[in-house]
């Protein structure tokens, strides 16, 4: 196998793709005879017939079909590597259309000055919306989303996870008491988040012994906007679950207190997604790489803020 050469593989793949030595020769810049000899030499090296020849047509054997699929992927990867190398010489430029949930501006906007200083020839069109957009139909270059990736036409790159926190205002805790284990949440007032697209209510990421009954807080309010949830919790209406980056400022100022930290175990996850393509454009490639490196790169400051201790 070490002696197999790229010329023979290319001749075989082009012949299989186009159905004749003549057509393959036109693409490769070789005579039909030279293409045929390259394929024959490859068959001799492999010890197997790849193409059945007749006076009227060429037909792949079963072994040829299987080998063709593998060789096609190999040559595509080589082309992709070559294209990527050429693109590294280009200066990324142009506009990038980005779709992201409304809440994403809390973590996205703070890192954009650094990106735009590094790549001054790239412009950004940001669409902050909780609507699930069709990237391909609507011409979106990159989206930030959570959850599964149902569309096979898309590829994803996971960002570093963030933490989900249960928070309440000091005033609320003073009036209703501080829960010190999940079962003590029963009877507490809760602010629930309802996912905009599915309508399902967010489940709080609680860890507790299996024998303990499931806590049943009283949901006095639900909303499909995480900013509104934070506002309601900050104003003392109940306990709510929110991402650490959203809770960071009110935790730092003392407007919110994190509860049950030792009983939470469900990191949140955002993904960068974009339409599948053989050649990712330089502007999109540098944007994806930058966000993957910078977003959630450090833990939220809430870890060092005043929180209520939890006791089982």
Q: Which domain holds residue 141?
A: 94-160+269-294
Same domain for 135 and 47: no
Same domain for 263 and 274: no
Is pLDDT at 142 greater than 60 in this prediction? yes
The helix/strand count (H/E) of the chain reads as 11, 12
CATH number at residue 54: 1.10.10.10
pLDDT at position 1 = 43
Residue 145: helix, strand or coil by DSSP?
strand
Strand partners, 303: none
Strand partners, 221: 191
Same domain for 256 and 122: no
Query: Do 222 and 194 touch, CB atoms closer than 8 A?
Result: yes
Angle (nearest 5°) at CA 191 between 187 and 195: 130
**Residue 308 placed within a domain:** no
Report the domain count for the chain: 3
**Residue 232 placed within a domain:** yes
Same domain for 283 and 262: no
**Residue 307 placed within a domain:** no
Alpha carbon 96 to chain centroid, angstroms: 17
Same domain for 282 and 153: yes
**Residue 245 placed within a domain:** yes
**Residue 255 placed within a domain:** yes
Q: How many residues does the chain have?
A: 312
pTM for this predicted structure: 0.61
pLDDT at position 304 = 36
Query: Do 273 and 145 touch, CB atoms closer than 8 A?
Result: yes
Same domain for 197 and 247: yes
Same domain for 14 and 70: yes
- Mean pLDDT over 259-269 rounds to 86
Looking at residue 194, the DSSP 8-state letter turns out to be B
Which residues fall within 8 angstroms of residue 53, CB to CB, at 6 or more apart?
none
Residue range 299-308, pLDDT digits in tens: 433 333 334 4
**Residue 304 placed within a domain:** no
Residue range 214-255, pLDDT digits in tens: 888 999 999 999 999 999 999 999 999 999 999 999 999 999
Same domain for 263 and 170: yes
Same domain for 243 and 186: yes
Residue 190: helix, strand or coil by DSSP?
strand
CATH number at residue 126: 3.40.190.10
Same domain for 211 and 124: no
């Amino acid at each position: 196998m070490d002696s197999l050469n790229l010329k023979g593989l290319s001749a075989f793949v082009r012949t299989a793709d186009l159905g004749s030595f003549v057509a393959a020769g036109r693409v490769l810049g070789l005579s039909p005879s030279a293409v045929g000899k390259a394929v024959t030499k490859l068959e001799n090296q492999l010890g197997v017939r790849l193409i059945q020849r007749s006076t009227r047509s060429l037909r792949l054997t079963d072994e040829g079909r299987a080998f063709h699929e593998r060789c096609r992927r190999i040559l595509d990867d080589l082309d992709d590597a070559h294209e990527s190398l050429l693109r590294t010489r280009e200066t990324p430029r142009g506009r990038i259309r980005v779709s992201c949930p409304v809440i994403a501006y809390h973590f996205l906007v703070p890192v954009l000055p650094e990106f735009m200083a590094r790549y001054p020839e790239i412009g950004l069109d940001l669409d902050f919306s909780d609507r699930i957009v069709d990237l391909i139909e609507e011409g979106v270059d990159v989206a930030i989303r959570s959850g599964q990736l149902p569309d096979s036409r898309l590829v994803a790159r996971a960002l570093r996870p963030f933490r989900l926190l249960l928070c309440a205002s000091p005033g609320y805790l003073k009036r209703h008491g501080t829960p010190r284990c999940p079962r003590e949440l029963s009877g507490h007032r809760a602010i629930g988040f309802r996912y905009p697209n599915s309508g399902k209510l967010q489940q709080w990421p609680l860890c507790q012994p299996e024998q303990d009954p499931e806590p049943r807080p009283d949901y006095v309010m639900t909303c499909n906007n995480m900013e509104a949830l934070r506002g309601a919790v900050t104003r003392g209406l109940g306990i709510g679950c929110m991402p650490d980056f959203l809770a960071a400022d009110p935790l730092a100022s003392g407007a919110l207190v994190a509860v049950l930290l030792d009983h939470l175990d469900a990191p949140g996850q955002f993904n960068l997604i974009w339409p599948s393509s053989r050649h990712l454009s330089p502007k999109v490639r540098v944007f994806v790489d930058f966000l993957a490196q910078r977003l959630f790169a450090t833990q939220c400051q809430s870890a060092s803020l005043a929180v209520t201790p939890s006791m089982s």
